[in-house]
Chains A and B, each alone.
Chain A
């Protein structure tokens, strides 16, 4: 069965510094997709970045980049130049094989950005 593991319940970072949020996954599928979502206190899940299993380059979206290490089955999110508004829950998710976008989520990491 597919599984996502986020081992950091909480992380702290100083404003303007970079932070890495860890994510490991388990799957026997050859084709899969990995997502990161941000959930602020308002509750809405906000898409940040996507990495396909066959993508050769690490995905980047503005200040977000995904450090994809396929052999290690890890998909860590790197946030550069942290801002106070980055304080939120962050969830790693994997798309199950099946032709539609059913996602399996990890337990999340709470990030606090300090001034």
Chain B
């Protein structure tokens, strides 16, 4: 029984570079979420997928950010032209379809933009 997997765990990049993160949810979960967490803060919602459809995007998700979930399985989050303000922990979570089902989180990808 595997949980939510995220890769890589850590990413260091130079400002202006593109980065891509991957999330593998729990296999039977059709809902997938991306959150961003900065130091000393709680996670902030970025986007939500139900199966392969991206149903909501936060205003935090600028046009430099794009997320996909092809075939409703794994998801990728890409950040283009990274900025120092993008440095944060990016958390992926998944849940089943029931209304009050809890979210299962991965260990996150810590991004540092130099």
**Which residues does A use to contact B, with CB under 8 Å?**
4, 33, 35, 37, 42-47, 50, 52, 91, 93, 95, 99-108
| Complex contacts, B108 vs chain A, CB 8 Å | 43-44
> Are B103's CB and A47's CB within 8 A?
yes
Determine the distance from Cα of A70 to Cα of B35 in the docked complex, in whole angstroms. Answer: 28
- Shortest distance between the CB of B113 and any CB in chain A (Å): 18
Determine the distance from Cα of A95 to Cα of B93 in the docked complex, in whole angstroms. Answer: 14
Main secondary structure of the interface of B (DSSP, over half): strand
> Are A45's CB and B93's CB within 8 A?
yes
Identify the 5 closest CB pairs spanning chains A and B, nearest first: A105-B42, A45-B105, A44-B107, A43-B108, A47-B102
Contact flag A43-B89 (CB < 8 Å), given A52-B100, A101-B103, A102-B56: yes
| Complex contacts, B43 vs chain A, CB 8 Å | 45, 91, 103, 105
Residue of B103, B104, B107 touching A103 (CB-CB under 8 A): B103
| Complex contacts, A106 vs chain B, CB 8 Å | 42
Contact flag A99-B99 (CB < 8 Å), given A43-B107, A43-B110, A47-B104: yes
**Which residues does B use to contact A, with CB under 8 Å?**
31, 33, 40-45, 48, 50, 55-56, 89, 91, 93, 95, 99-108, 110
New A-B contacts (9) at CB < 8 Å, excluding given A47-B102, A100-B31, A103-B45: A33-B100, A43-B108, A43-B110, A45-B91, A50-B100, A101-B102, A102-B45, A106-B42, A108-B40
